[in-house]
Amino acid sequence: MNATISFDSVLHVVLALVGVAVFVGLNGLLLVYAERKVAGFIQRRPGPYEVGPQGILQAVADALKLIGKQLVRPDRADPLLFWMAPVLAFFPVLLLFLPIPFSPLLTGWDVNLGLLLILAFAGFNVLALLLAGWGSNNKYGLLGAARAVAQSVAYEIPLLLAVLAIAFQEGTLSLTAIVGGQGGMPWQWNIVVQPLAFLIFFVSALGETNRAPFDLPEAESELTAGFHTEYSGMGFGMFFLAEYANMIVACSVCTVLFLGGWKGPFLDGAWWFLAKVYGLLLSMMWFRWTYPRVRFDQLLNLNWRWLLPLGVLNLLATAFVMKL
């Protein structure tokens, strides 16, 4: 790491963290609204409609409700673990936003090991889910936590392999540099050279963020609500926000790695980045409202028997081509 620790850089990081927190909070509201509208339109319903014009204040009302609710802990739950879990789920996610280059100027912390930082801190999420399921002393929670651990650990590997393929190709772990290696036109993006890596990354990202059709840790028709069965109020709200924040991170990284980041055919800037991220987020929602849920053994089979070998092959092929 070449970032020298100075007052300026610390201030920069702190400011960035505050900015990220605001960004995540606002995005949480926006995405909840978008998710419900997408679900509504796909199902030929209006979706949220009553609170504010076209229901745009629905998410705000929900957030206020969650904040206003009493914090309830089951009698036999472990208080420390029970309350640590939502905090641990939410705050590390903020760190993940730091190295993401929204635009050349709008980067929280331009560190040359940005990819590594994201992958490392993303591992916190699984710990939070495990603590939530274990600490709430609920059998459904426990089953959900067990699923979450097995799933997250498994899907991290192909995710890493896909990322490595890009890192090999670009020869750097800095996100800014990776974007710099791509052009503005769609055919200059990494997705053209690495379509398989993109597919593996995106599927693994669905698995990592517990999104349908891989939402097994919470699978409400099997485990009622899985790891967060016992959470209500802001306890639940934190998990909820963390899920959306994780989605944004996954889509952002995907944009940086494969879709040219902030670069576009004209007028490069953060708007291109955001447009691409929201496009990916919308497709995640689209998947959720289209597909049934896979079974747990199928989920793991998909990973170990398809994504992992394909990821390895892709990485070897990339290495081979790069060597040439």
- 269: nearest Cα among 102, 97, 107: 102
Q: Is residue 166 a contact residue for another protein (CB under 8 A)?
A: no
User: Which residue of 42, 87, 113, 312 would you call a contact of another protein, by CB under 8 A?
Assistant: 42
Q: Is residue 78 a contact residue for another protein (CB under 8 A)?
A: no
Looking only at residues 92 through 131 of this chain, which bind another protein when binding is defined by CB under 8 A? none
Residue with tokens 């050279």: 193
Nearest distance from C-beta of residue 184 to another protein, angstroms? 28
Rounded Cα gap, residues 300 and 124, in angstroms: 20
Nearest distance from C-beta of residue 266 to another protein, angstroms? 28
Listed ranges 16-24, 54-62, 259-267, 291-299: which one lies at the site for another protein (CB under 8 A): 291-299
Distances (CA, A) of 302 to 61, 205, 247, 308: 39, 14, 21, 9
Nearest distance from C-beta of residue 105 to another protein, angstroms? 36
Q: Is residue 287 a contact residue for another protein (CB under 8 A)?
A: yes
User: Which residue of 38, 162, 175, 250 would you call a contact of another protein, by CB under 8 A?
Assistant: 38
User: Which residue of 1, 2, 5, 76 would you call a contact of another protein, by CB under 8 A?
Assistant: 76
Q: Is residue 46 a contact residue for another protein (CB under 8 A)?
A: yes
Q: Which residue(s) pair with 107 in the sheet?
A: 101
CB closer to another protein, 46 vs 183: 46
Q: Is residue 291 a contact residue for another protein (CB under 8 A)?
A: yes
Rounded Cα gap, residues 78 and 135, in angstroms: 5
Q: Is residue 304 a contact residue for another protein (CB under 8 A)?
A: no
- 244: nearest Cα among 106, 127, 90: 90
Q: Is residue 143 a contact residue for another protein (CB under 8 A)?
A: yes
Rounded Cα gap, residues 263 and 281, in angstroms: 18
Distances (CA, A) of 276 to 155, 253, 272: 23, 11, 6
Nearest distance from C-beta of residue 219 to another protein, angstroms? 7
CB closer to another protein, 125 vs 138: 138
Q: Are 260 and 269 in contact (CB under 8 A)?
A: no
Listed ranges 80-88, 127-135, 295-303, 315-323: which one lies at the site for another protein (CB under 8 A): 295-303
Determine the residue type at 158.
P
- 118: nearest Cα among 160, 153, 77, 166: 160
Q: Is residue 79 a contact residue for another protein (CB under 8 A)?
A: no
Question: Please, what's the largest Cα pairwise distance for the chain?
Answer: 63
Rounded Cα gap, residues 181 and 196, in angstroms: 19
CB closer to another protein, 162 vs 285: 285
Q: Are 239 and 316 in contact (CB under 8 A)?
A: no
Q: Which residues bind another protein (CB under 8 A)?
A: 38-46, 49, 76, 139-140, 142-143, 212-213, 215, 219-224, 286-298
